[in-house]
């Protein structure tokens, strides 16, 4: 039994180590930074507040893995939103609210720096375009601008 657990842990560690950085992809913004992981998390939170969005959720496997004796790179998903956007989006598409909060993703790189990435809100809300119409597209565009400003502030 212990050999199976050791093998599983080694496979998990190898797959986590080889997963690599977030590559640019359709609908995403990816910002490599020179900031340390913990600093970038704090700077994202401060920038979100400055741009009128609250931290609604945070999740990541790093600390729970460490408690199990597994070391993985820093990994945090930060959900951002505010009630004003929620009320306006709900008026246009109840289904679209499944996407709230919209998330930013902070990942630690092998050299100790961190990357900030996120799906652009226009990409996130695109599946609801027919239902939410031009109003939803406009709100998603406003969120795109706020997310870009958050990324800009957090990288400074």
Instruction: Please compute the mean of the pLDDT values over residues 32-46 and round it to a whole number.
Output: 97
CATH class, 2-155 region: alpha beta
pLDDT per residue as tens digits for the range 81-139? 999 999 999 999 999 999 999 999 999 999 999 999 999 999 999 999 999 999 999 99
Q: Is 43 left (phi over 0), alpha (psi -120 to 50) or beta?
A: alpha
Higher pLDDT, 3 or 113: 113
Angle made by CA atoms 43, 153, 85, in degrees to the nearest 5: 90
- What is the pLDDT, as a whole number, of residue 21? 87
Structure tokens at 74: 């820093």
Is the Cβ–Cβ distance between 114 and 132 less than 8 Å? no
pLDDT per residue as tens digits for the range 13-36? 444 444 578 999 999 999 999 999
Query: What residue ranges do the domains of the chain occupy?
Result: 2-155
- What is the pLDDT, as a whole number, of residue 16? 43
Q: For residue 17, which of 151, 110, 155 has the smallest C-alpha distance?
A: 110
Structure tokens at 19: 């997963």
Higher pLDDT, 6 or 100: 100
Angle made by CA atoms 33, 116, 71, in degrees to the nearest 5: 90
- What is the pLDDT, as a whole number, of residue 2? 54
Residue 59 pLDDT more than 60? yes
Q: What is the pLDDT confidence band of residue 55, given thresholds at 50, 70 and 90? A: very high
CA dihedral 87, 149, 35, 72 (to 10 degrees): 30
Count the Cβ atoms, other than its own, within 10 Å of residue 66. Answer: 11
- What is the pLDDT, as a whole number, of residue 3? 53
């Amino acid at each position: 039994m212990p050999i199976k657990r050791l093998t599983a842990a080694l496979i998990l560690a190898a797959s986590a180590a080889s997963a690599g950085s977030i590559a640019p992809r359709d609908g995403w913004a990816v910002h490599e930074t020179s900031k340390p992981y913990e600093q970038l998390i704090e700077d994202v939170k401060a920038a979100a507040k400055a741009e009128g969005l609250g931290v609604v959720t945070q999740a990541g496997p790093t600390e729970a893995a460490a408690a199990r004796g597994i070391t993985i790179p820093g990994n945090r998903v930060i959900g951002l939103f505010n009630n004003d956007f929620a009320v306006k989006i709900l008026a246009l598409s109840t289904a679209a609210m499944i996407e709230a909060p919209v998330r930013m993703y902070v990942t630690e790189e092998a050299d100790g720096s961190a990357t900030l990435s996120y799906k652009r809100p226009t990409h996130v809300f695109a599946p609801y375009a027919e239902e939410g119409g031009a109003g939803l597209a406009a709100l998603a565009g406003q969120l795109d601008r706020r997310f870009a400003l958050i990324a800009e502030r957090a990288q400074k």
